[in-house]
Amino acid sequence: MTTKSHAVTRKKAQKRRPAARSNMTLWLIGAVAISLVVLAVWASTRQSTTVVNVPEAQAAYADIPPAWINGKTLGNPDASVTIQAWEDFM
């Protein structure tokens, strides 16, 4: 190669670098966005295992066997009738 062709090749490489950097930036932004979505889905679908030690709550559920209470259901798991309640507190 001649010196002139080296200079042309070097200039072409320098012109391509900003595009490669902008592509890398887009990939990074996309990866962060996907990570945030995955984190939000995981946080909203995991069950809470927190036990409430408030006396009023304990009194309200005093006559219900502990085996019938979990984070999403309340009552006899073998009941012949089930009721689904859909609520939005926004």
Residue 49's pLDDT is 65
The answer, yes or no, to whether residue 79 has pLDDT greater than 80, is yes
| Nearest-10 Cα torsion for 37, 38, 41, 43 | -110
Answer for the pair 82, 60: CB distance below 8 angstroms, yes or no: no
What's the mean pLDDT in 60-78? 74
* Burial class, 68, CB count within 10 angstroms (exposed 0-12 / middle 13-18 / buried 19+): middle
Residue 69's pLDDT is 72
The answer, yes or no, to whether residue 33 has pLDDT greater than 80, is yes
What's the mean pLDDT in 63-82? 77
Model-level pTM? 0.37
